Chains A and B, each alone.
Chain A
Amino acid sequence: MTALPGTEQLHDVTLTVNGVQRQITVPARRLLSDALRHDLQLTGTHVGCEHGVCGSCTVLVDGQPMRSCLMFAVSAQGHAITTVEGCGDSPERMGPVQRAFIECHGLQCGFCTPGFITTITAYLAENPAPTEEQAREAISGNLCRCTGYQNIVKAVMRAAELAAEAPTAASEVSA
């Protein structure tokens, strides 16, 4: 049996989330996914396995996709986090990947979708014109149980088109 957990030591963490500087006070063991979801109430980031395989919790850390369930909140000190809300936080302000998902029926239950949207957003920032095969490869680290992926592949291709039409929207998140 481990030692009795006393009052947990808390740490102040300053991080930038979707372009806004935020401060949270958390125990060292608090996962970034929990901090985003429950401390900052950005519940768009979902937790599907909590062991880094499914990709539902993917956020961008300084523009790079990361599993927020495999990262402690304290490790985010000083970093810039982009969640799905940062890719467009309302139906009136949707990014190209979000619009493409709707057009192509790229989601059903929607639970895994935020992880795909962040992943694809980062991918397209570096690979603005993928082939269909590359698009499939790009999403092959995220699990979806509803769609069979076909329409997600389609959505990657469509998002690339939409981003090319309005280049500023695609580059926003990596900035």
Chain B
Amino acid sequence: MSTRQFGAPVQRREDPRLVTGGGRYLDDLGHTAYEVAFVRSPHAHARIIDIDLSDAWEVEGVQAIYLHEDLPDRVGESLPLLIPHPALIAPRVGYALAKDEVNHVGEAIAMVVATNRYLAEDAAARITVTFSSLPSVVGLENSRAATHLVHEEAAGNISAHLLQEVGNVTAAMAKAPNRLTLDLTIERSACMPMEGKGVYAVWDSDDERLRIYSSTQTSTGVRAAVAAKLGLPLAKVECIAPDVGGGFGVKIMHPWPEEVLIPWAARTLGHPVKWTEDRREHFISSSHERGQLQEVEVGFDDDGRVLALDVRFWHDNGAYTPYGIIVPIITATQLLGPYKPGAYRVEFWSLYTNTVLVTPYRGAGRPQGCYAMERTMDAIAAHLGLDRAEVRSRNFILPEEMPYDHGLMFQDGRPLKYDSGDFPASLAKLKALVGWDDFAAYKEQATREGRRVGLGIGCYVEGTGVGPYEGGHIQVETSGRVNVATGLTTQGQGHQTILAQIVADELGVPIDSVHVTTGDTRRMAYAVGTFASRGAVMSGNAVALAARVVRAKALRIAAEALEVSAEDLEIEDGIIRVKGAPDTALALATVAVLSNPLRYAFDESARAATQFAGTFDPDKPPIADDEEPGLEGQDFYSPTQATFANGMHAAIVETDPVTAEIRILRYCVIHDCGIMVNPMIVEGQVHGGVAQGVGGALYERMAYDESGQLMNASFMDFLMPYASEVPHIETDHLETPSPLNPLGIKGAGEAGTIPVTAVIASAIEDAEGFPIRSMPISPTQLWELRQQHAREDAR
């Protein structure tokens, strides 16, 4: 009996290669390619008056220097607006190379191609750009004040304005016995994958064909965008995501300017060209996220039940909006978490600033929404003197209310309808894990010892696995090797393992025979990409469906060869047997031969197949009318809506009474992503998500000065957590299956990150006894808050 792979902590199939230096990341390719360096804007907002290239051309090894005026046709036109929306009233996008004007520090102006990167940078340093500076708009408050404009066409610096309302908030608020308002701030951070972006392109002039490698989260998206820009038939362009050193959202945005320019240069120069982003470039030209100002008004009854919730927020979208308003829409809708307010109104303004553009970063607007909702829950509990967990549970949507339709439209343009979840059960598990009910005694003891400790909580719901679709293609070779392809890309989530687990079970083959390819348009041309915690849900179900197609075909062929009914057959360990008569069997490899009746026998399987070739019937074609040669098949999974995962976190923090240093003593996670394909990998995703959340709560911020210079654009100054900053994470799981897909799974990729800022704010508030309304928080800021509250208390 072969072991079921689905649900087992199977070790990752990608690892032996990656731990021995066998990974192939973007810069590991193309050792002989020309290399590129960019001249980027040192100004946040300026007009370009003149560019002098004469000195640069004198550098040995320079092959080409390009400015905007050199870019032909569509290459020189503005970059695409990827996701339009009716509420996006003043969309603005940039150019591959700046045209006349720059709108943030780091915007690419000139591109130098040389025989190596050192020489390209020498030449770039010798290019002189003359600017006429314009007033820059930095920070949400300045943008909202609109004393100066980022784009003249965007009045009030507003790119988008959206209002959604369910029920009558004004009436419900007026009737509510208790009302509170909260002003909240959350600052910018960024994905910061260890590998930045990178593009390598090869133009094959013999074949008139372009091959692009990009460190991307969507190879199909890059392929289509570049084909359109370069005016090439799609059939002549292929795009491959090699090993990708982390993404977390920044690499779903596409096409980045470099993804257009590098392929274009490779074709123009007839020579392979490569660009590898350096860390400073990543800080100042790849997207950020998170920055919002929020105003919450909440009306509630004396038991803490929310009767009316009125939220207004201002979202910093940076200089351009190529990715539309996905992030604030997610904040607006996912803010509700596991709760059902009586009436809900949310209104947001997405604002331009002269800073790097904003596109989804792990959590994608949810951490901000969760922060607003959870700060509100704590405020209600404090106002009424109730237990914070109790207030939450009184507002929960109950399991018997599922599916629960909020009456709002989600980011995919479909109803925000929760499919499943058991929030009371999750909360009970969390309280048990962290020892919720024992904390008061622990805190009392700590206080007696002169220590300050606090307990925080945060709950969230995450729409995962959004459509439109992903596909799976499976081919069984005559050696018995099973090739699986799906089009979405991988950045460390272990897709090669979990998809192999699914296929091994569905097809009945040993996992070692299954080989998964992701993100290669040569193998699967139809795909969307990796984002929205959709990899396992979308491609997992797609390969399961494809495996069922192949299995059915294998059984059909085997039934004919063995002269039995297909229903009497089973597949195990790659062998098809008659149930109850195990001696009547043939290998799947043999069926692969029979499926493809060639004139030639190449291998052992082909020779073995001859005995099953059947009787020759001159009236029948070798391949039946409704069949195709080859033991292969594909299918696509396209859901009607997202499937909603959820989780609840709690943390115990200690703040130093003198220095205001903040230490996380314990961090507990209850996580429900439906049925887990591989619990080891799910745990890893949760750990990593929490670590990024801790960074966002306590350390990471984008320190722009008033002129739009990013003052901390290096790992020396941007404080990404080391092992010394990340607590040990305790986890427990609930597995509430999704009724929406064949495997019952929900996404897990982003979950860990979502509530951390809310949880840490909650815990610090509990330790300090005054409200925390601005995150992230540093010891200095906490110390200043203490002084401020001490002064107020003294008055």
- A residues touching B (Cβ–Cβ < 8 Å)? 1-2, 4-7, 27, 29-30, 37-38, 41-51, 53-54, 56, 83-85, 87-91, 93-94, 98, 101-103, 105, 107-114, 117, 136-137, 139-153
Contacts and interface: CB of A to CB of B under 8 A. Distances in A.
B373 to A, nearest CB: 24
A146 B19 contact: no
B770 interface: no
Interface centre among B16, B125, B194, B278 (most CB of A within 10 A): B194
Contacts of A137: 723-724
B122 interface: yes
Contacts of A105: 11-12, 680-681, 683-684
Contacts of A107: 15, 18-19, 492
B118 A29 contact: yes
Contact of A147 (B118, B244, B691): B691
Interface string B1-31: 0000000000110111111111111011001
Contacts of A140: 722-724
Contacts of A41: 31
Contact of A56 (B60, B194, B752): B194
B39 interface: no
B318 interface: no
Contacts of A27: 118
A89 B21 contact: yes
Interface stretch (B80-88, B517-525, B602-610, B712-720): B712-720
A149 B726 contact: yes
Contacts of B726: 148-150
B248 interface: yes
Given A103-B11, A109-B246, A153 B31 contact: no
Contact of B691 (A29, A83, A149): A149
Nearest to B493: A108
Contacts of B125: 2
Interface string B489-506: 001111000000000000
Given A4-B58, A149-B723, 10 more contacts: A1-B55, A53-B714, A102-B12, A109-B492, A111-B23, A111-B246, A145-B191, A146-B194, A146-B684, A150-B728
Contact of A145 (B15, B28, B688, B752): B688
Interface string B684-710: 110111111000000000000000000
A150 B729 contact: yes
A89 B20 contact: yes
Given A49-B279, A51-B714, A110 B19 contact: yes
Contacts of A46: 25, 194-195, 245
A152 B278 CA distance: 26
Given A94-B20, A108-B688, A148-B688, A136 B724 contact: yes
A44 B21 contact: yes
B68 interface: no
Given A1-B126, A147-B688, A88 B20 contact: yes
Contacts of A110: 14-15, 18-19, 23, 243, 245, 492
18 contacts: A1-B126, A5-B59, A41-B31, A53-B715, A53-B716, A84-B19, A85-B20, A88-B19, A91-B22, A108-B493, A108-B688, A110-B243, A143-B194, A147-B687, A149-B691, A151-B684, A152-B723, A153-B723
B192 interface: yes
Interface string B260-280: 000000000000000000110
B779 interface: no
Contacts of B22: 44, 90-91
B371 to A, nearest CB: 20
B415 interface: no
Interface in B110-135: 118-119, 122, 125-126
A143 B279 CA distance: 13
Interface string B159-203: 000000000000000000000000000000001111100000000
A48 B492 contact: no
Contacts of A88: 19-20
Given A48-B194, A53-B714, A145-B192, A113 B722 contact: no
Contacts of B58: 4
Interface in B453-469: none
Interface centre among B11, B692, B716, B722 (most CB of A within 10 A): B722
Given A51-B715, A136-B724, A148-B729, A90 B688 contact: no
Interface string B281-309: 00000000000000000000000000000
A153 B192 CA distance: 22
A117 B464 CA distance: 34
A50 B688 contact: no
A83 to B, nearest CB: 7
Nearest to A150: B687
Contact of A112 (B122, B194, B248, B687): B194
A37 B27 contact: yes
Contacts of B684: 105, 108, 146-147, 151
Nearest to B690: A148
Interface centre among A110, A111, A117, A143 (most CB of B within 10 A): A110
Contacts of A49: 279, 714-715
Given A5-B60, A109-B194, A151-B687, A44 B23 contact: yes
B724 A98 contact: no
